[in-house]
Amino acid sequence: MTAGLNRTRRRPLKTALWYVVLVLISVITVFPFLWILLTSLKGPTDLLFSTPPQFLPNAPTLDNFARVLAALPIPKFFLNSIVAATATTVLNVLIASLAAYPLAKMRFRFREPIFYLLLATLIVPLQLTFIPSYLLSRFFGYYDSLPAIIWPGLASAFNIFLMRQAFKGVPNELIDAARVDGARDWRIWWQIALPLVRPTVATVAIFTFVTSWNDFLWPSLMLPTIANKTLPVGLAALQSYFSSDFRSIAAGVTMTVIPILIFFIALQRHFVRGLAGAVKG
């Protein structure tokens, strides 16, 4: 399964060296979080800034967490993020796979122009649209509510592009056979084509979810009221709220990061497979 596999097992010294390398790399990737976690557990008598640094809290405490929870509605931020990211992902994948199917498998007059139009929008940085979209949010009346961040994220030319690549791989014989059996295009799309491109659906869904979950700039413009904020926007608010209270900021970051990590460790297999399949399309 693994290409270029080393015969490390027969060489204990070499194996040990690899583990040293692996551990050193994980120190680099994990240390900032570990430091945040340790800081969040420190009480008022523990030193944050000292030379040499104090790593472990002498008197671990959860006070910082209580202080953050009393000041900011962290569970609400979570709920908002879950609702927004889930709605965006489900609808986006549905809309993208609908749009991609005829582009891959049907012949119609404006197919090429539509496809190139979509490709062209792929290029447009979303930030460019923020000023008019700000006005649109007033026009549609969803300013300062979750639909403000869901609606503009529903159509993604990139996802349509990936789905189209996948649908192209569906054998025409299958589609023709279904048509001979009397199936309509909608049924062929739903019952034959879509199940065959499930790996790409997973990829697209994962990319969309992560992007939506971590999105910051647009939600920060759209969600001024504290109770409406998503996690990243809430975290930024937390940072200014507790400005120099590092222990509380650390507690806030810890609370937001740990559930996401659990979520991703649970889904790691799917996550990696999706990401890995992205390139094959």
Give the tokens for residue 134: 């700000």
Nearer to another protein, 4 or 70 (CB): 4
Note whether 167 binds another protein by CB under 8 A.
Answer: no
Of 204, 194, 212, 215, give the one whose Cα is nearest residue 88.
212
Binding mask 173-192 toward another protein (x if CB under 8 A, else -) reads: ------------xx--x---
Which residue number, 37 or 69, has a Cβ lying nearer to another protein? 37
- Residues 155 and 166: their CA atoms lie apart, in Å, by 18
Q: Answer yes or no whether residue 30 interacts with another protein by CB under 8 A.
A: yes
SS3 169: coil
Question: Quick check: 28 binds another protein (CB under 8 A)?
Answer: yes
User: Per rule CB under 8 A, is residue 83 in the interface with another protein?
Assistant: no
Interface with another protein (CB under 8 A), residue from 17, 20, 25, 62: 25
Using the rule CB under 8 A, give the single segment among 25-33, 60-68, 70-78, 190-198 that binds another protein.
Answer: 25-33
221/175 Cα distance (integer angstroms): 45
Q: How far is the CB of 97 from another protein (least distance, A)?
A: 9
Minimum CB distance to another protein smaller for 45 or for 50: 50
Burial 137-147, CB ≥16 within 10 A → b, else e: beeeebbeebe
CA 46 to CA 54: how far, in whole Å? Answer: 8
Q: Residue 208 CB: number of other CB atoms within 10 A?
A: 23
Nearer to another protein, 26 or 58 (CB): 26
| Contact yes or no for 259/78 (Cβ under 8 A) | yes
Cβ 59 to another protein shortest distance, Å: 20
Q: What angle do CA 51, 27, 62 make, to 5 degrees?
A: 65
Cα gap 48→64, rounded to integer Å? 14
- Asked whether position 217 contacts another protein by CB under 8 A, the answer is yes
Residue labelled with tokens 């869904």? 205
Residue 95-134 contact track with another protein, rule CB under 8 A, x = bound = xx-xx-xxx--xxxx-x--x---xx-xxxxxxxxxxxxxx
Instruction: In angstroms, give the least distance from the CB of 222 to another protein.
Output: 11
- The C-alpha atoms of residue 156 and residue 235 are separated, in whole angstroms, by 27
Q: Which of residues 223-262 bind another protein (CB under 8 A)?
A: 231-233, 235-236, 239, 246, 249-250, 253, 256-257, 260-261
